[in-house]
Amino acid sequence: MSETGIREHPDSGLRLITELGPLVVFFLANWKAGIFWATGLFMAATAIALAASYIRMRTVPVMPLVTGVFVLIFGGLTLWLQDETFIKLKPTIVNLCFASILAGGLAFKRPLLKIVFASVFALDDEGWRKLTIRWMIFFVVLAILNEIVWRSFSTDTWVSFKVFGIMPLTFVFSLAQLPLLKQHALEESPAE
């Protein structure tokens, strides 16, 4: 484990591919064939990524699974009704759902990030609480940004923002949490 309390995970490369791969497919398909083809291929790539994750790790992480379900539902509605609004709403709804779930966990004094990421981070209770609040706020900000971009700009701009805006923002936000992780990291016993 590093001094930030982050444990190394042997399948981190696979996780990155299964999370970024469908977005890259979505971007390229939109660029070449438009939003409806992009949505269909995004749905297929998401299903393949979730299956690959399950085959390799015998589990699917919670956040990609929830996101995948929303991709299939809202993507299906987009294709069935031929209305791109549904796929554009998906990030807003997913981010607000994540924020609400985290808020509910805090309300019941159960920081749900601890349950989801305990195998990755070893933090004290205050660290989990602060990290949960920060992610909750970040998810709300992402939902607001998504609403602003899809309602104010073209579909192509929104797709570019989804790939080249949200991902870098999430990466930078994650890196900004390293001081908190370091400050609240627990020491592990040598047996672990």
Domain boundaries, the chain: 12-183
List helix spans (H) across 34-186: 35-57, 62-81, 85-107, 112-117, 125-152, 155-161, 167-176, 178-183
**Model pLDDT, residue 188:** 62
Q: Which stretches of the chain drop beneath a pLDDT of 70? A: 1-16, 188-192
pLDDT of residue 13: 65
pLDDT at position 192 = 45
Residue-level pLDDT at 9: 52
Q: What was the pLDDT predicted at 134?
A: 97
Please answer whether residues 74 and 97 qualify as being in contact, where contact means their C-beta atoms are separated by less than 8 angstroms: no
| CA neighbor of 71 nearest in space, from 100, 102, 44 | 44
Nearest to 18 by CA among 71, 90, 96: 71
pTM, two decimal places: 0.83
Coil vs helix vs strand at 80: helix
pLDDT recorded at residue 65 = 86
Burial class (CB within 10 angstroms; exposed 0-12, middle 13-18, buried 19+) of 108: exposed
pLDDT in tens, 114-138: 887 777 778 999 999 999 999 999 9
HSE at residue 32, side-chain half, CA atoms within 13 A, is 9
Mention every residue, 6+ apart, whose C-beta is less than 8 A from residue 64: 18, 19, 49, 50, 53
What average pLDDT is seen over the chain?
87
